[in-house]
């Protein structure tokens, strides 16, 4: 008789195992609240059963629009443990974008907290009829909403027998907080199992890990940290809103061993006047990702912070390289080597694999590659490269090259995506808003250097013939209609946009033209 099922252990299984084997150990710390693994496991079961009690069925998608808190973690993983699909949204996006993503995902329920309850209430008339009775509020409740704590309190604590297959949707993470068509990245349970187990190894997590979470929990960067901690049986420590003093205090007070942050956060921490007053000796291994990391900042981190510093280059879609501490100084200009469990290559414009030293588009295949873009066959096709073996590989849109040792160096980005403060910003969405102004004939948005964010959007505008408007006035008009992270740093007027013979705007020429700008 077999003692164990050959079925792979998925996230709900790992949480159940930790609930039993790590029962009294801290699972989550949120301010003064300390939640044990027994309590966390019971909480996810209650959330799952609450959604069942509301009439949701396996596979239904549930939007989560919440600020960082224990409840947000419990809600997201309760959704997953119930066989539903979690759809966490960036809180900084516009209301139009929220409505668009709810509709695009065909969500059957929404869980919101704080001021976001009012935002959803304001969008109620735009929501599908099927979601109207499935609005759940945390911390305050509008008329016609369910109270999160009352729902979970009334739900049973015994998990219902459900079948979750590795190919079932686990979550959808939207790549863009936008006014245009969003791209929902679908991770199935098999993919997320690989993210958790592979990243736990690559980022050196262990059962004693105490992980600080201070980026938005909707972000895949935070998901990497949460999954690695869960698969290691560690503890997640929530910082509700990042600030430098609070971050350093939590590291010292909670004896943090692991965290993930974007370059801007590292820069702020190291520039803080009282940085040296804190005891950070508990740090074990921590990671930076989300946007390009300057060599000087890498060297400063290694020199001034204890523990092992790891740089990660990757895509939410599912490719990752790791530059570990043992290679950091010798290969400081690279972003490391392919994480175990995946293959990478660079190809030319004709799809031929290039040798070391030659630059081309980065492509790859991994255990944790996305299942695809939700309801977006065109984007799926554009992101796929056929390997000579016939296997489907992911196109990154980034340009890089390998050295003879297999270390990857980023050269440029074929995609127009802007990486600002660790968030992906898509110019087409900003352009769609700016071009609505009746004085604007054409607009192209490109990323330029920013002291604060790494990169920031710049609007390059061609005005309608005979029309005029002040650049500051158009910038203010645009930013009043854009999400916080989409706002442009400046507007520059030109007579015409550079184009190729087929009429396509050459954004690389614009990036080159404005490369000396910094905001």
Q: What is the pLDDT of residues 57-72, one digit of tens each?
A: 999 999 999 999 999 9
Per-residue pLDDT at 160? 87
Give the pLDDT band (50/70/90) at residue 499.
Answer: confident
Query: Which whole number is the average pLDDT over 365-379?
Result: 95
Topology at the third CATH level for domain 11-218: Rossmann fold (3.40.50)
Per-residue pLDDT at 419? 82
Give the pLDDT band (50/70/90) at residue 179.
Answer: very low
pLDDT in tens, 234-276: 999 999 999 999 999 999 999 999 999 998 899 899 999 999 9
Query: Rounded to two decimals, what is the model's pTM?
Result: 0.85
pLDDT in tens, 14-41: 999 999 999 999 999 999 999 999 999 9
Residue with token string 């069925």: 57
Per-residue pLDDT at 395? 96
H, E, C per residue of 254-293: CCCCEEEECHHHHHHHHHCCCHHHCCCCCCCEEEECCCCC
Contact 308, 284 (CB under 8 A): yes
Domain boundaries, the chain: 11-218, 317-413, 418-513
Selected from 2.30.38.10, 3.40.50.460, 2.20.25.90, 3.40.50.2300, the CATH number assigned to the domain covering 317-413 reads 2.30.38.10
- Let me know the angle formed at the C-alpha of 264 by 263 and 265, rounded to the nearest 5 degrees: 90
Give the pLDDT band (50/70/90) at residue 279.
Answer: very high
- Dist. CA 206–CA 227, nearest whole Å: 12
Percent helix, strand, coil in the chain, to 5, is 30, 25, 40
Give the pLDDT band (50/70/90) at residue 502.
Answer: very low
Per-residue pLDDT at 500? 62
Per-residue pLDDT at 235? 98
Per-residue pLDDT at 86? 98
Domain 418-513 is of which CATH architecture?
A: 2-Layer Sandwich (3.30)
DSSP state of 464: P
pLDDT in tens, 47-60: 999 999 999 999 99
- Dist. CA 375–CA 338, nearest whole Å: 29
- Dist. CA 216–CA 144, nearest whole Å: 28
Contact 55, 130 (CB under 8 A): no
Query: Which whole number is the average pLDDT over 159-175?
Result: 93
- Dist. CA 516–CA 181, nearest whole Å: 32
CATH topology match: 11-218 vs 418-513 = no
Q: Where are the beta strands (DSSP E) in 75-150?
A: 85-88, 109-113, 135-138, 146-147
Per-residue pLDDT at 3? 53
- Pull the structure tokens for residue 357: 């030293």
Beta-bridge partner residues of 227? none
Contact 291, 263 (CB under 8 A): yes
Asked whether residue 112 carries a pLDDT value surpassing 70, the answer given is: yes
Beta-bridge partner residues of 258? 211, 285
Give the pLDDT band (50/70/90) at residue 504.
Answer: low
Q: What's the distance, CA 107 to chain centroid?
A: 19
Per-residue pLDDT at 369? 95
Q: Where are the alpha helices (DSSP H) in 319-451?
A: 377-382, 427-434
CB atoms within 10 A of CB 267: 19
- Let me know the angle formed at the C-alpha of 21 by 212 and 224, rounded to the nearest 5 degrees: 30
Q: Which helix (H) or strand (E) holds 322?
A: strand 319-323
């Amino acid at each position: 008789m077999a003692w164990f099922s050959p079925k792979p252990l998925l996230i709900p299984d790992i949480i159940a195992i930790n609930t039993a084997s790590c029962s009294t150990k801290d699972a989550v710390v949120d301010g003064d609240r300390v939640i044990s693994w027994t309590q966390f496991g019971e909480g996810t079961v209650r959330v799952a059963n609450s959604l069942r009690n509301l009439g949701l069925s396996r596979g239904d998608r549930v939007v989560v629009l919440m600020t960082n808190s224990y409840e947000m973690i419990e809600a997201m993983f309760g959704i997953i443990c119930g066989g539903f699909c979690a759809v966490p949204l960036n809180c900084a996006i516009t209301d139009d974008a929220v409505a668009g993503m709810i509709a695009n995902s065909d969500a059957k329920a929404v869980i919101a907290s704080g001021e976001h309850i009012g935002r959803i209430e304001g969008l109620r008339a735009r929501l599908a009829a099927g979601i109207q009775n499935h609005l759940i509020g945390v911390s305050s409740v509008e008329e016609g909403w369910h109270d999160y704590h009352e729902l979970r309190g009334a739900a049973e604590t015994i998990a219902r027998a459900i079948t979750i297959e590795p190919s079932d949707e686990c979550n959808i993470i939207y790549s863009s907080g936008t006014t245009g068509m969003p791209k929902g990245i679908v991770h199935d349970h098999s993919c997320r199992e690989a993210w958790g187990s592979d990243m736990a190894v690559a980022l050196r997590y262990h059962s004693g890990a105490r992980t600080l979470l201070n980026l938005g929990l909707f972000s895949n960067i935070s998901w990497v940290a949460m999954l690695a901690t869960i698969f290691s049986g560690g503890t997640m420590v929530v910082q509700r809103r990042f600030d430098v003093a609070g971050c350093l205090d939590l590291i010292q007070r909670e004896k943090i061993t692991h965290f993930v942050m974007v370059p801007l956060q590292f820069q702020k921490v190291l520039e803080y006047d009282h940085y040296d007053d804190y005891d950070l000796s508990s740090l074990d291994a921590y990671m930076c990702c989300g946007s390009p990391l300057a060599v000087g900042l890498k060297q400063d981190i290694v020199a001034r912070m204890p523990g092992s510093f790891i740089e990660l280059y990757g895509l939410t879609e599912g490719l990752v390289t790791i530059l570990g501490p043992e290679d950091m100084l010798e290969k400081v200009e690279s972003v490391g080597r392919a994480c175990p469990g995946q293959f990478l290559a660079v190809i030319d414009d004709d799809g031929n694999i290039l040798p070391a030293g030659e630059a081309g588009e980065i492509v790859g295949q991994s255990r944790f590659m996305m299942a695809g873009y939700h309801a977006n066959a065109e984007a799926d096709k554009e992101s796929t490269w056929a390997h000579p073996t016939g296997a489907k590989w992911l196109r990154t849109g980034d340009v890089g090259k390998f050295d003879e040792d297999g270390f990857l160096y980023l050269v440029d980005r074929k995609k127009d995506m802007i990486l600002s403060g660790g968030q992906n910003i898509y110019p087409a969405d900003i352009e769609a808003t700016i071009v609505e102004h009746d004085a604007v004939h054409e607009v192209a948005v490109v990323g330029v250097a920013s002291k604060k964010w790494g990169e920031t959007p710049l609007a390059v505008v061609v005005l309608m013939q005979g029309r005029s408007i002040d650049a500051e006035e158009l910038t203010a008009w645009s930013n009043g209609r854009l999400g916080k992270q989409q706002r442009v740093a400046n507007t520059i007027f030109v007579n015409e946009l550079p184009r190729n013979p087929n009429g396509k705007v050459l954004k690389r020429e614009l990036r080159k033209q404005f490369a000396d700008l910094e905001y």
